[in-house]
Structure formats: structure tokens, C-alpha cells
């Protein structure tokens, strides 16, 4: 059972269809889950409170760029991170800027499905944005099979793609252990701020983290974010 690290209930979410039809905030959120062609705002200059070790790189050329080690690491630290982990921000092929780490993954950065994350709460934090980017490119293997995944894939395929990519600013782990995680991501874009809630599960067959759209409730869980103080600032 996932270790609960926050007594507050997750924020109430809205279905993807609401955001597709909802005006301003759709510009912020739909850009995560559909394959947009517009680049995000310049992230090469980090804000003052961004760790100096964090950098941004362009997407690698096709072909694996690292050995697949993160997802096979043993004795991973299962503590929930309370500070931003050292991160290298890279532009995924779908043009969303995603977090990467030699330790936590994705160790396999080949094609649209960047994979192989450490089996730990921190590994799950890194997995969330990377797997969303993969889903936007039609990579069904980014999520566990089921009707929830099928619905998200259908909505993604039919949604418009003319949106600015949102930027991941921080994260808030609601519950996490080595088998599952529930994480809210703080996203900004087009002058709006939102929380984007994701469920992840460790897939024993794949030996990696996967998005889990089969849990009860709407997917994705998106809400206006007014108080960012409970979040770990990542950028």
C-alpha cells in the first residue's frame, strides 16, 4: 500500500473533455496530453531559485543515449523527496521539456517512449512528465492497459494540437512507495497555474513505472492551483 505523506485530499479534477472545450486553461493543460507543434517558452535560463545543477538540453538524436540501469537498480532509497532532485531538463521529441537524471531515469531515451526509471518515489516523480510526453505521441505503452487508457488515447487523438507546451514547475507527492505513487504536478503556461494529478504503478512485467488511468475518478485530474506552498519547486 502506498505511503500517504499528506493528509489533505487530492484536489477535485475535471475530465479532459472539459479542458478541451474550456477556453483559457485548456491552453495550459491540453498541451501536455496532445502532440503539439509549438515549442514551450525558453527554459534555458533558470529562475533564481532553480538549483544551479539543473540544465536544459535539446532532444537527443534517435537511438539510446544511456545504458538501461535506473529501472534495474537495487536497494533504491524509498524516502519521499522533500527537495528538488538534481535534474537535467531535456526537450522530448514531442517538444515538452521533461526532467531526466542518470540516477532516477529515464535511462532509455530512444524514440518517443523514454523509459527505465528507478523503482522509488523519486523515480516515479521523474516518470510522470516523461510518460505524459510519450502518451501525447500515441505511445500506449506509457500506461497500463485498460479502458481508462483507451479513453485517454481516444481523447488525445481527437484533440486540437495548437497549444503552447506547459512548464513543470514543481511536484507534490500525495502517496508513494516502491509499487505505486500519486503525484500532483505544478504546471504553468499562458499566464495560468494548474495542478495536474497522476497515478503511477510499477509494472512488474515491464520492470518500469507506468501511468495508471484505471483508478477511480476522472483522468487527468486537473484543477486551478492557487497555493503552491505545499509543492517542491523543481525549476
Q: Is 78's pLDDT higher than 90?
A: yes
Mean pLDDT of 188-210: 93
Quote the cell numbers at residue 16.
479532459
Q: Is 93's pLDDT higher than 60?
A: yes
User: Residue 192's beta-bridge partner residues?
Assistant: 189
Burial group, residue 12, by CB count within 10 angstroms (0-12, 13-18, 19+) = exposed
| pLDDT at residue number 161 | 61
Q: pTM value?
A: 0.76
Q: Print the domain residue range for 225.
A: 3-233
Min mean pLDDT across 44-53, 64-73, 122-131 is at: 44-53
Cβ atoms 33, 220 nearer than 8 A: yes
Residue 134 pLDDT class (50, 70, 90 cuts): very high
Min mean pLDDT across 101-115, 196-210, 213-227 is at: 213-227
| pLDDT at residue number 162 | 63
Q: Which range has the top average pLDDT, 42-56, 141-155, 213-227?
A: 141-155
CB atoms within 10 A of CB 23: 7
Cβ atoms 164, 190 nearer than 8 A: yes
Would you list the DSSP string of 43-80?
A: -SS--TTS-TT-EEEPPPPSS--S-S-GGG-SS---SP
Q: In the chain, how many domains are there?
A: 1
> From start to end of the chain, where are the E strands?
3-4, 55-57, 88-91, 97-100, 108-110, 113-115, 167-176, 180-189, 192-203, 208-211, 221-224, 232-233
Q: What percent of the chain has pLDDT over 90?
A: 53
Q: Could you give the angle at the alpha carbon of 75 between the alpha carbons of 69 and 77, nearest 5°? A: 95
Q: Is 98's pLDDT higher than 70?
A: yes
| Closest-CA residue to 50 (of 180, 161, 167, 212) | 167
Q: Could you give the angle at the alpha carbon of 200 between the alpha carbons of 126 and 7, nearest 5°? A: 95
| pLDDT at residue number 209 | 98
Q: Is 132's pLDDT higher than 80?
A: yes
> From start to end of 138-179, where are the E strands?
167-176
Contacts of 139 (CB under 8 A, 6+ apart): 112, 113
Mean pLDDT of 194-202: 95
What are 204-221's pLDDT values in tens digits? 999 999 999 999 887 778
CA dihedral 208, 136, 96, 187 (to 10 degrees): -90
Cβ atoms 33, 152 nearer than 8 A: yes
Residues in the chain: 235
Largest Cα–Cα distance of the chain, in whole Å? 46
Residue with the bigger pLDDT between 126 and 51: it is 126
What are 1-41's pLDDT values in tens digits? 444 343 333 332 323 332 333 333 444 444 444 433 223 33
Amino acid at each position: 500500500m502506498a505511503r500517504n505523506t499528506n493528509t489533505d485530499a487530492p484536489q477535485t479534477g475535471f475530465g479532459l473533455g472539459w479542458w478541451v472545450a474550456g477556453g483559457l486553461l485548456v491552453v495550459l493543460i491540453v498541451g501536455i496530453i496532445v502532440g503539439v507543434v509549438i515549442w514551450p517558452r525558453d527554459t534555458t535560463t533558470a529562475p533564481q531559485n532553480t538549483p544551479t545543477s539543473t540544465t536544459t538540453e535539446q532532444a537527443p538524436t534517435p537511438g539510446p543515449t544511456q545504458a538501461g540501469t535506473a529501472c534495474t537498480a537495487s536497494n533504491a532509497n524509498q524516502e519521499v523527496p522533500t527537495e528538488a532532485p538534481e535534474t537535467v531538463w531535456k526537450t522530448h521529441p514531442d517538444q515538452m521539456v521533461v526532467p531526466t537524471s542518470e540516477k532516477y531515469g529515464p535511462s532509455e531515451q530512444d524514440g518517443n517512449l523514454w523509459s527505465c526509471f528507478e523503482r522509488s518515489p523519486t523515480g516515479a516523480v521523474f516518470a510522470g512528465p516523461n510518460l505524459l510526453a510519450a502518451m501525447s505521441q500515441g505511445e500506449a505503452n506509457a500506461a497500463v492497459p485498460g479502458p481508462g487508457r483507451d479513453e485517454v488515447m481516444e481523447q488525445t487523438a481527437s484533440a486540437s494540437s495548437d497549444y503552447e507546451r506547459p512548464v513543470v514547475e514543481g511536484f507534490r507527492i500525495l502517496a508513494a512507495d516502491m509499487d505505486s505513487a500519486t503525484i500532483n504536478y505544478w504546471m504553468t503556461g499562458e499566464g495560468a497555474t494548474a495542478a495536474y494529478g497522476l497515478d503511477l504503478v510499477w509494472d512488474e512485467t515491464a520492470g518500469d513505472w507506468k501511468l495508471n488511468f484505471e483508478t477511480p475518478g476522472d483522468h487527468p485530474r486537473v484543477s486551478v492551483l492557487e497555493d503552491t506552498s505545499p509543492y517542491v519547486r523543481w525549476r
